[in-house]
Amino acid sequence: MSALLSHPVELLRTPARAVQRRAEPAEQRATARRDLVTITLGGLLFGAAVGSLRGGAQVPIAALKIPLATLLTLAVSAPGFAAFAGAFGRRWSFRETLAVALGAGARASLVLFGLAPALWLAIDLGVNQQGVRWLATIAYALAGLSGLGFMLHAVGPRRGRWATTLSFAGLFLLVGAQSAWLLRPFIGDARDASIPLFAHGRREGGLVGSLLGAGNESERGSD
């Protein structure tokens, strides 16, 4: 239990030590378990906050979808991370690459965990659906920057540091955006007679169009 409680502190305050731990084969299994718990709990709370705008069944649905989107993105991206690491001179094993990716995801999820009460408060104060979209997007951006910082520690100061990190980030963003889009809606739409699990059968203008509020009538429930 003490190891699980100290895990978030290490990820946030001493990322260099957290990276070193993930390079040690004897530590990788334990850190992976703790990272998975962190990703799940952080995503559950943030998803519940997002879904609270619609309320009802949207709360547990969104709570389950947020960590699922993160884990799906990491699972799909991990082979690409390993390829980029090798291309830029980082001789990591696949297990070490996956351990680093999980650490970055866990650190990002801790930020989402911390921002969830603020989002919940904003919804309680009456922020509309478009405002919640932007607040959630900003929260994700801050979480992503935190995860990116962890990646920088893992990559180290050697040649190709930024190329490796930005390659990781670009792949994660691409896969993550698509994963989130496939799993929508997260916020839900009060105009729907029933809460849909997925936004099938809707005409939509894409992720950017959704954030900009374009074509609201054709994008019901796509957020």
Average pLDDT, the chain: 85
The confidence score (pLDDT) of residue 34 equals 93
The larger pLDDT score, comparing residue 7 to residue 223, is at 7
Q: Structure tokens of 103?
A: 């650490």
Quote the pTM value. 0.83
- In the block, tokens 């670009």 appear at 170
Range of weakest confidence among 93-97, 159-163, 176-180, 204-208: 204-208
